[in-house]
Structure 1
Amino acid sequence: MAAMKPRTGDGPMEVTKEGRGIIMRIPLEGGGRLVVELTQEEAKELQETLDGALG
């Protein structure tokens, strides 16, 4: 049986540009990460939506 590693300390939220896409990694409660690939247009739409929700 393989050793189980604890899912702690998966790090902060991060966004990187890889090629023509934007990769967003969001740590999840309980461990792991949600990884989302966005186009430039989708990232701008997400930014506008978040600005509307927070502003």
Structure 2
Amino acid sequence: SVDSNGLWIRTLIFSICAPYLDSKMNLDDFISMNPQVGWGSVFLLPDFVDRYGRQS
């Protein structure tokens, strides 16, 4: 939060991202520099939400 002068009222708390035992960073599963994998797709946000955000 900031005061009326734009100064921080209290210092920000930064937390370290801690891995869980049953999960890991999975970015490498989605990004590949191997041309044999093929091309990906880029979506506009509304199209992305329409495709992946709807639960049926």
Give TM-score scaled by structure 2 length: 0.24
Larger Rg: 2
- Greater share of strand residues, 1 or 2? 1
> Larger RCO: Structure 1 or Structure 2 (Cα < 8 Å, ≥ 6 residues apart)?
1
- Greater share of helix residues, 1 or 2? 1
Give TM-score scaled by structure 1 length: 0.24
